[in-house]
């Protein structure tokens, strides 16, 4: 059976029913999780259940030179103002910025506290992001979710699974939703199995988030495998059937692998207005639950960022 056929079939279950996807009515969304996700999905952002987040963790993950293209963005006030005026579902940042800046905006802009991270100075061959904050920090600060980076397939994946398990259990205790940044990474994913952004790896990352118990997963858009195809004897050989899929169809597969887990797609490095809107459209057509665009927003000047935000939100309202 070809991949294209698979896609079509995947859209239907036996007896023609579609698989149920992410919503506030799912069994595992308790009252605490629902009350907090409601902020992102209905009280902020476009308001129709779709989410749009403004992440500001790049200063830690990439270093301050990510702010060079738009120097005022080095001050988190820039993004907090943009999130409020632009009506984002929420901002995402680490504990230090949250403690030093969030109180002024509390109640007006929802917060996702990113609770693990790293710098990009060491090699990524054995990537692992240790906790730099806890779910209790998030509760204390009034955050409406925690963000967690899982490096799927890294040689240190085992530590990541354990660390995530504790976060998941702690979050459940407090009714805090967990958003997993699910990123294929490490020497095996990067060098052997098509590269971190290949469909096989991104699809797997979606499933990992689903099976480990994330409420929402943040994914990158899948790309062609680095060598043009997958090892025909390797564990991901079946993805060679998918080499001619459109990016939208690839993303649709990924969304199905995420199952009842909400899907956010990240923006990556800065692209033009037109490309960004196209990217948003592809994602929404493929059925994602939200967008999480950082550098593509705050590397623009403030008014430009506001304008493109409005256009994207307008587009989101069509879904």
Please measure the distance between the N-terminal and C-terminal CA atoms of the chain and give it in whole angstroms: 31
From 189, 251, 265, 316, residue interacting with its own copies (rule: CB under 8 A)? 189
**CB half-sphere exposure, 252, CA atoms < 13 A:** 20
Please say whether the beta carbons of 136 and 166 come within 8 A: no
From 236, 263, 264, 308, residue interacting with its own copies (rule: CB under 8 A)? 236
Cα(106)–Cα(241) distance, integer angstroms: 49
Site string for its own copies, 262-301 (x = CB under 8 A): ----------------------------------------
Q: How far is the CB of 210 from its own copies (least distance, A)?
A: 5
Of 88, 183, 230, 239, the active-site residue reads: 183
- Enclosing H/E stretch for 168: helix 157-174
Binding to its own copies in span 1-20, by CB under 8 A = 1, 3, 6-7, 9-10, 12-14, 19-20
Cα(81)–Cα(34) distance, integer angstroms: 26
From 149, 261, 296, 309, residue interacting with its own copies (rule: CB under 8 A)? 261
Q: How far is the CB of 267 from its own copies (least distance, A)?
A: 18
Other C-beta atoms within 10 Å of 84: how many? 15
Of 50, 148, 204, 218, the active-site residue reads: 218
129 binds its own copies (CB under 8 A): yes
Verify whether residue 118 is a known catalytic residue: no
From 23, 48, 77, 310, residue interacting with its own copies (rule: CB under 8 A)? 77
Cα(273)–Cα(58) distance, integer angstroms: 21
32 binds its own copies (CB under 8 A): no
Which two three-digit tokens encode residue 198?
């290949």
Catalytic sites, residue numbers: 183, 218
């Amino acid at each position: 059976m070809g991949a294209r056929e698979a896609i079509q079939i995947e859209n239907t279950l036996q007896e023609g029913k579609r698989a149920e996807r992410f919503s506030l009515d799912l069994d595992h969304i308790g009252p605490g999780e629902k009350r907090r996700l409601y902020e992102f999905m209905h009280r902020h952002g476009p308001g129709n259940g779709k989410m749009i987040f403004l992440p500001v963790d790049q200063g830690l993950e990439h270093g301050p030179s990510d702010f060079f293209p738009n120097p005022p963005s080095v001050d988190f006030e820039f993004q907090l103002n943009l999130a409020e005026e632009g009506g984002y579902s929420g901002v995402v940042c680490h504990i230090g910025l949250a403690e030093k800046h969030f109180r002024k905006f509390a109640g007006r802009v929802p917060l996702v506290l990113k609770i693990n991270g790293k710098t990009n100075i060491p090699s990524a061959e054995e990537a692992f992001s240790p906790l730099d904050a806890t779910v209790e920090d998030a509760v204390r600060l009034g955050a409406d979710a925690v963000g967690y980076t899982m490096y799927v397939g890294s040689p240190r994946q085992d530590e990541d699974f354990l660390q995530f398990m504790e976060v998941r259990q702690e979050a459940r205790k407090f009714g805090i939703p967990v958003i997993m940044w699910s990123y294929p990474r490490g020497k095996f994913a990067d060098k052997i199995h098509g590269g971190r952004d290949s469909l096989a790896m991104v699809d797997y990352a979606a499933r990992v988030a689903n099976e480990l118990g994330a409420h929402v997963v943040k994914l990158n858009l899948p790309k062609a495998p680095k060598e043009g195809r997958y090892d025909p004897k390797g564990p991901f050989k079946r993805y060679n059937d998918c080499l001619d899929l459109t990016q939208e169809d690839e993303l649709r597969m990924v969304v199905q692998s995420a199952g009842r887990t909400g899907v956010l797609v990240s923006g990556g490095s800065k692209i033009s207005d037109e490309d960004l809107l196209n990217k948003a459209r592809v994602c929404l057509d493929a059925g994602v639950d939200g967008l999480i665009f950082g550098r593509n927003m705050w590397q623009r000047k403030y008014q430009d960022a506001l304008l493109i935000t409005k256009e994207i939100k307008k587009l989101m309202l069509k879904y």
